[in-house]
Amino acid sequence: RTLLESTQYLFPPLSFRHQTPKMLARRFAQQTSFLAARQARSFAAVGDKIPSVSVDLGFPPQKVNVAERTAGRKTIMIGLPGAYTPVCSEKMVPSYIAKQAELKAKGVEEVLVISVNDGAVMKAWGKDQGGDGTMVTFLGDPKSELTKALDLVFDAPPILEIFGHSRCKRFAMVIEDGKIKAMNVAGGDIPDEATFAEAMLEEL
């Protein structure tokens, strides 16, 4: 559905014979406000529900529906550009493994790590990171289905040149009963550190 079709769906046409100038002005303002909101918002936001999309756990991959996985509990989901990449391997993921006790004390039951990699890569990377037996679960999003559903596709030219295709932006979100309660997306004025465990503990 196009943006125009979306506005027509939300604001179905009425006969102009039954609308006063004031009514028409109000209607135009509603449509303009809706379009501006759609254009200004570039990714998932606080208050949104987690989309019902499946990602891959292990290999052969088991399908994990993230909406179901996060329902009725407090979870942190982090997304990153790629397994085995420097910042992800040396800082971001280790921060969550190191802060498990503090996260659990705040009521977090699980940390989901999402990357545009297959389940086999994520399983191997999780083992290398010391994630086995921890509260940190490594999940692959090989087709970018979750990444796209969250509107967090990372397709800047340098990323395409390095990886050959789009990846996931670096983000971290607190999820309570399937709904986003806090969220940080790195980029621009937002440093990578805003997505590390120390920063997310302050959001809990």
Q: What is the pLDDT of residues 33-66, one digit of tens each?
A: 433 333 334 568 899 999 999 999 999 999 999 9
Confidence of residue 156 (pLDDT cuts 50, 70, 90): low
In the predicted structure, residue 16 carries a pLDDT above the cut 50 = no
Residue with the larger pLDDT of the pair 163 and 141: 141
Task: State how far the Cα of 74 lies from the Cα of 177, in Å rounded to an integer.
Answer: 6
The pTM of this model reads 0.76
What's the pLDDT score for residue 28?
A: 42
What's the pLDDT score for residue 168?
A: 86
Confidence of residue 5 (pLDDT cuts 50, 70, 90): very low
In the predicted structure, residue 24 carries a pLDDT above the cut 70 = no
- Mean pLDDT value of segment 106-118: 96
Tell me the catalytic residues. Answer: 88
Task: State how far the Cα of 74 lies from the Cα of 13, in Å rounded to an integer.
Answer: 42
Provide the β-strand partners of residue 139.
114
Q: Is the dihedral of CA 67, 69, 71, 74 positive or negative?
A: negative
What's the pLDDT score for residue 103?
A: 98
Strand ranges, E, within the chain: 54-57, 62-65, 74-80, 110-115, 136-140, 153-154, 167-168, 171-176, 179-185
